[in-house]
Amino acid sequence: MVVLFAGESEEDEPAARSFFDEMRRLGWVEGTNITYERLEGRGEREYVEGLARSAAGRPGLKRFGLLLDRRAPDSSRQETMYQDAARRVGLDLMTEKFTNFEAVAKIFANLRRAGIVAVGLTPSYTLIARRREVVETAVRNRLALIGHRSEWAAVGALMTYGAEVADALRRSAGIADRILKGVKPADIAVEQATKAELVVNQRTAKTLGITIPDSVLRRADRVIE
């Protein structure tokens, strides 16, 4: 069975542990009745669709940056969706698009010069595969990143809100189990994530001099100290 990681398998596998644990619970033991071929995406192709959007802000924040991957198949739809959401909550959204990773550092510098202090990250295979570099560049530019997957908060984004990764991976294991037992993929209904989690990175908040309101911390599913 092929398992595709967004970035390096050694770094990404701990985040996917729920999938492997659930597969083992279902009776698929690596090295006994199943073999996993681990492939590393290294950010060379578009990221999978269907992840929940990220949206967050700070007390008094009026301008917000948004980083969009031009190569994402739904880039235009994402931009429209975020612009509509920003208008509803009274935010001035500054959208920046990139085609290759090398452009990200310049974009972050431009956003900072424009007075932006918080930037939302849209789903992008390129970004998630090189998330440590993205976060390091953002911190150098004193930018708070808001992501859609908990892996972002784990490497230093200020906060993330999106589908609960462990739950999604357990569901993926259930689907893989059915396929391995002979069910045709076309006969399996597409499942939408039903659990979302808010993760806050207090270490990053302190580094950037940001005070996270207690109301947000109380609502967080996980706080990284």
pLDDT for 40 equals: 58
pTM: 0.66
pLDDT for 7 equals: 57
pLDDT for 42 equals: 44
Dist CA 201 CA 52 (whole Å): 19
pLDDT for 5 equals: 65
For the chain, which domains are there? 2-42+166-187 (no CATH), 63-162+196-224 (3.40.50.2300)
pLDDT for 52 equals: 29
What stretches in the chain show pLDDT beneath 70? 2, 4-12, 37, 39-58, 60-61, 164-165, 192-194
CB contact at 8 A, 56 and 152: no
pLDDT for 109 equals: 93
How far are the Cα atoms of 82, 123, 154 from residue 78, in angstroms, in the given order? 6, 9, 24
CB contact at 8 A, 147 and 157: yes
- For all residues of the chain together, what is the average pLDDT? 80
pLDDT for 103 equals: 93
Model pLDDT for residues 126-156, shown as the tens digit of each residue:
888 899 999 999 999 999 999 888 889 999 9
Question: Strand 159-163 relative to strand 144-147: parallel, antiparallel, unpaired?
Answer: parallel
Q: What is the share, in percent, of the chain residues with pLDDT greater than 70? A: 81
